[in-house]
């Protein structure tokens, strides 16, 4: 391991401990599960990557079971409707895999949160006499997920709910973020830019009228 890699790994473990300290109550939630630090730090894309031919140089690290669970969670977050497809239609779990497998500190923090959260879901599933989260009936999966959403509203009331809220919010951020940066997601919310225009003339009269200018 190079000094650089050793330093990144050391920093990662320090960062994770600091993260746990910062999240206060979430420490209990996260501490129950082993630190999911990547032991061998891979290189990132470097300081001067080719912007016209981007590459993801790090390996994707999630297991099939984890990806399956994430795909299910992703569809609870972003289901298909008449406007746009679901997260799994666009393999947003694949994007989450890229994210949590990245060697950078922020992504490693998210890896810890996401993997600890998936472990927690499996534990809840075993309490319901299922083998794991993936084996639960869809309605039970949805119910567990809804419990996480409620934790957001309760907030840091207990250490458990703080950790659950953090897991929920990072999941939603990554799935919604991955989704709304696809062509289908952008079409859904109505982004119509990134096209060349000869002139920029401002909003049409109808919009000016509606906003009162």
Binding region for another protein (CB under 8 A) = 44-49, 51-52, 54-56, 76-79, 81, 83-84, 95, 98-99, 102, 104-107, 145, 149-150, 152-153, 168-169, 172-174, 176-178, 180-183, 185-186, 188-204, 206-208, 210-213
- Asked if residue 3 lies in contact with residue 137, where contact means CB atoms within 8 angstroms, the answer is no
| Smallest separation, CB 131 to another protein (Å) | 25
| Smallest separation, CB 98 to another protein (Å) | 7
Supply 61's token pair.
């690290």
CB closer to another protein, 120 vs 168: 168
| Smallest separation, CB 160 to another protein (Å) | 16
CB closer to another protein, 127 vs 205: 205
| Smallest separation, CB 105 to another protein (Å) | 7
Neighbours of 127 (CB within 10 A): 8
Q: Kindly list the distances between the CA atom of residue 41 and the CA atoms of 8, 13, 69, 115, 137, in Å, as whole numbers in the listed order.
A: 7, 12, 25, 17, 37
Distance CA 46, CA 49 (A): 6
Closest-CA residue to 29 (of 149, 184, 164): 164
CB closer to another protein, 34 vs 155: 155
CB closer to another protein, 33 vs 105: 105
CB closer to another protein, 79 vs 138: 79
For 85-88, the CB contacts below 8 A with 24+ separation are 85/184, 87/175, 87/178, 87/179
């Amino acid at each position: 391991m190079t000094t650089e890699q050793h330093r990144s790994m050391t920093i990662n473990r320090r960062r994770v401990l600091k993260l746990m300290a910062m999240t206060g109550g979430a420490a209990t939630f996260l501490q129950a599960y082993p630190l999911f630090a990547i032991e061998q730090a891979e290189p990132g894309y470097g300081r001067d990557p080719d912007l016209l031919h981007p590459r993801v140089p790090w390996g994707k690290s999630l297991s099939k079971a984890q990806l399956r669970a994430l795909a299910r969670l992703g569809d609870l977050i972003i289901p298909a409707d008449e406007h746009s497809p679901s997260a799994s239609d666009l393999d947003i779990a694949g994007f989450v895999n890229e994210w949590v497998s990245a060697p950078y500190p922020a992504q490693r923090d998210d890896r810890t949160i996401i993997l600890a959260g998936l472990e927690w879901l499996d534990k809840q599933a075993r309490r319901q006499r299922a083998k794991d989260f993936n084996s639960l009936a869809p309605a039970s999966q949805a119910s567990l997920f809804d419990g996480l959403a409620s934790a957001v509203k309760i907030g840091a009331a207990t250490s458990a709910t703080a950790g659950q809220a953090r897991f929920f919010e990072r999941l939603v951020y990554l799935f919604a973020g991955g989704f709304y940066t696809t062509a289908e997601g952008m079409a859904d919310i109505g982004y119509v830019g990134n096209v060349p225009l000869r002139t920029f003339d401002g909003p049409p009269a109808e919009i000016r009228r509606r906003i009162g200018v």
